Amino acid sequence: MTLYKNREKFNKFSEKIGYIFSTIGLTPNQWTFLSIIIALIGVWFIVNYNFFWGAIFVLISIFLDIVDGSVARATKQVSKIGGYLDTIVDRYVEAFIIGGLVLINLPDFIIDFRFWLFAYFFGSLMTTYVKAAAVEKNLKKSEIRGGLVERADRMILLIIGLFLAVLSPVYLVYMVVLLAFLSNITTLQRIKIAFS
């Protein structure tokens, strides 16, 4: 499922995006911070049970996450600091959205819904941590990629869940349960890769 396998197609799309958005005049880091603001607007809608607009703003935020890197490449402003900042902001955006879901009442599925949110959040953090730890501990020379769901995959599934919540919040619950399983399975897959 992971989108990184389609990098070649994505890179062509990214080049066009970079060219278009570089004409606006914002720096790559400004685009990165703008994605946080847009995500927070999305969270505000989610907290107010307006799942449609919540999904729209989260989708825009994720799109801006593509824009910042694309603009950096188009304007030759790619930097280690920018890449690091982008990674940190990505984690904040996902955490804000999950935090917004904690604040609303959604149906339980077998056990309390908030347990599934915690499992999803923990799995999403661990998929990132295990790849960083593998490099830090010299198990791997380059970052680990792959597994069932990377961040882009998780965010797409979450956005689909938010759109489906317009029909019934229970669909969003099912999507969070799915994400809880997939993100933790991905963590285990990456641990296996680190040991190989």
Q: Which residues are catalytic?
A: 90
Length of the chain: 196
Integer-rounded Cα radius of gyration of the chain: 17
Q: At what angle do helices 169-195 and 151-165 cross, to 10 degrees?
A: 170
Helical spans, DSSP H, in 1-112: 7-22, 28-47, 51-74, 80-102
Q: Which residues contact 165 (CB under 8 A, 6 or more apart)?
A: 51, 171, 172
Burial class (CB in 10 A: 0-12, 13-18, 19+), 61: buried
CA–CA distances in Å: residue 151 to residues 101, 172, 188: 18, 18, 15
Distance, in Å, from the CA atom of 162 to the CA atom of 169, rounded to the nearest integer, reads 8
Helix (H/G/I), strand (E/B), else coil: 106: coil
Assess contact for 135 and 143: CB atoms under 8 A.
yes
